[in-house]
Structure 1
Amino acid sequence: MKAQSKTETPGTHPLAGAEMSGAEMIVQVLADEGIDTVFGYSGGAILPTYDAVFRYNDEHGRDGQDAMSLIVPANEQGACFMASGYARATGRPGVVIVTSGPGATNCVTPVRDCIADSIPIVVICGQVPSAAIGTDAFQEAPVTGVMGSVAKHVFLVTDPERLEATVRSALEIAQSGRPGPVVVDVPKDVQNWIG
């Protein structure tokens, strides 16, 4: 099955006008959509989003409980399989947050498993800064190309103004029609953008 691939999603979104970083926007959208558990393994290209998860928990957690649980297994493949199991057990989409390059490519097998079994997961991958895409930068991988053959849909977000709508679309696409995995590739500069 060949995944659909888009560079961006058109449209505005409910958080328009709120000042926050792209990474904070990702976390806020997940929270708005009822996601209270994420799975992942951090690395340099996704650190802004991990920091945003920790800040979100500091601001919204109660009585020592995180508002958004972060489950960190031994590696990215484990994170994806855990998200798949979570989706199977709860009927809700599993969400995975991983870094660029080998972090993203370690997710290929579980993403393929999810497409075969119609399991809704969303994999949010960090990516090298937009200007470095295609330069063979450290830990760069052509995520849209690699995941395009195994995922239901793949996004590369190069316009931070489209980030919120893209994450919302990813969650919707993962659950609509025949459920399946959706990959959102987010360059580090888009995560660090303040808008």
Structure 2
Amino acid sequence: MDTEEATTAAETPPAADGSRWFYGCWIAAIALLALFALAAHAVTEFEKSLDGDGQMEQPGRSGSAYQPLGPGTTARYEDGLRVTVSAPEAHDDGTYSLTVTYKNGTDEGLALDGDSYPASLAVRAGEAHDEYATVYTVRQLDGAKSAAALAQPLPEDDERTVPLRLKPSRKGIPVTVEVSTPTPGSRETAHFQLTLG
């Protein structure tokens, strides 16, 4: 081995070439995984933009009129809004109370607007898919109190509970609670079906 070859061999030992290759592969693999994660996130956001943020996204029942949610369950929207309707509580005077809780996980304040038409929170007798039940009725006794709770916008990362006091025409009737937004079409209406009695 002449002096020039010995100098080159001393400057780059064989182990250094192997470890450089090994670290290079690891860096390339990590960069590839990061690019894959970014691409997956971009596809998810693109899909949401096609749906609109007002779509519900929950496992199980969809919350539509034909697959209403039950008492104590939560309607989950893609933009972060969560709406939960409690189970009804019976009172000695034949009335029932329940609550509708809005949790604003969106990135802005949310108008609940209790004076909008159609109402952003509606209670009616009958099953969710039956809009014209006439055999029985339900009256909301505290409409002004509920409208006042809905009148102010709900700030980002805040929660508001709206009380409802109901008087059914008889015990054991099905009741539907419909939750929508002041701007029709901007958010899917969530249907909750309960039994009073």
TM-score (norm 2): 0.25
Q: Which has the higher helix share?
A: 1
TM-score (norm 1): 0.25
Q: Which has the higher strand share?
A: 2
The higher-RCO structure (CA 8 Å, 6+ apart) is 1
